[in-house]
Chain A
Amino acid sequence: MSAATEHVEHAGHGHNTDEHDPHHTPSDRYFIKVALFLALLTAAETATYWVPLGAFATPSLLLMMVIKFWIIIRIFMHLKYDSKIFGTMFYIGLGLAVFVFCVFLFTFQFFEKFW
């Protein structure tokens, strides 16, 4: 791995590094820090298997899942830095999936046992 600076830009491009600049690429070191944070979250998730959290277990697991999901798509998949159109393509599919299958689960009374 080559020496990493905080921000790596393409040779020949002197663009600014605002959030939606497609030429902006975070450094290797930054990605390693993000991966370590994700690994810590995974360890925390796994710990809930041995440490009983009672009623807090499911909400905390769901929260950690959403945080991991968000970090991966925003940072590792570059949605934070790329054009918003790419994100829109993905969020439409994701939103549709969440909506359709929540309706599906409601229809089959899946959520009734939770209240």
Chain B
Amino acid sequence: MADIAVHESEPAHEDHGHGHDDGHGAHVTSTGLSNNKLAMWLFLGSECLLFGGLISTYMLYRGRRGDDPGPAQLFDIPLTSVSSFVLLMSSLTMVLAVNAAKRNEHSNTSLWLIVTGLLGALFVGGQVYEFTVFYNEGVGFTTSLFASSFFTLTGFHGVHVAIGVIMLMATAAIAKRGRISGDKAEVVEMVGLYWHFVDVVWVVIFTLVYLIPA
């Protein structure tokens, strides 16, 4: 989608008709919308296909484990529930960071981003602990089709969370220096969209993988 040439050095136009500057994007676009945001939503739509494939593969293979331990023996629902709660609360702190960025409150933005990152790191820590317990129970990546599909699904999600934590910490550092303001506040929103998507995928995984009995 072609941008209409508007340079950052030029003052933002207060045109509320077509092609207006929304106050967050540096460029005025032919749609009047942020191309970055459009691309992010397109990316998240494509991620649905990735996780859809992984979830449906797990659903198909979750009973294929022979005499090895299965979900009923392995899953620690109280621990996973706490992890889910932690990730859910990180979504709250993320929207608070986005709101703070929109109000140009640099220190609050940085603070909420760091809190979100720490909650995300706590979630990843819980997942590492869970994987370690499974491994000690004798269930490794190649033990059975159930184990392979489970580790692939939750591992991919964990990697997404870990990448999100890195993005959050980097954004927090930039916000702390006051470099995210005005037309750059959209950066926090982009990271937020990614983070909420990671949360929403976990909402599905938590129900379909952990709570619904095989």
Which residues does A use to contact B, with CB under 8 Å? 1-2, 8, 10, 12-13, 22-23, 25, 27-28, 31-32, 35, 38-39, 42, 45-46, 48-49, 57-58, 61-62, 64-65, 68-69, 72-73, 76-78, 82-83, 85-87, 89-94, 96-98, 100-101, 104-105, 108, 110
Q: Which of chain A's residues have a CB closer than 8 A to the CB of B37?
A: 82, 86
CA distance A72 to B46 in the complex (A): 18
CA distance A47 to B196 in the complex (A): 24
Of all chain A residues, the one with the shortest Cβ separation from B80 is A46
B159 on the A face (CB < 8 A): no
Of all chain B residues, the one with the shortest Cβ separation from A94 is B48
Kindly identify, within residues 158 to 214 of chain B, every residue whose CB is under 8 Å from any CB belonging to chain A. 189, 192-193, 196-197, 199-200, 203-204, 206-208, 211-213
Of all chain A residues, the one with the shortest Cβ separation from B55 is A101
Interface size, B (range): 35 or more
Task: Determine chain B's interface SS by DSSP, over half rule.
Answer: helix
Of all chain B residues, the one with the shortest Cβ separation from A89 is B41
Q: Which of chain B's residues have a CB closer than 8 A to the CB of A90?
A: 41, 44-45, 48
CB distance from B188 to the nearest CB of A (A): 12
Contacting pair A93 B200 (CB below 8 A): no
Contacting pair A45 B44 (CB below 8 A): no
Contacting pair A72 B105 (CB below 8 A): no
Q: Which of chain B's residues have a CB closer than 8 A to the CB of A69?
A: 200, 203-204
Contacting pair A2 B48 (CB below 8 A): no
Contacting pair A23 B22 (CB below 8 A): yes
Of all chain A residues, the one with the shortest Cβ separation from B205 is A65
Of all chain B residues, the one with the shortest Cβ separation from A70 is B200
CB distance from A88 to the nearest CB of B (A): 8
Contacting pair A72 B31 (CB below 8 A): no
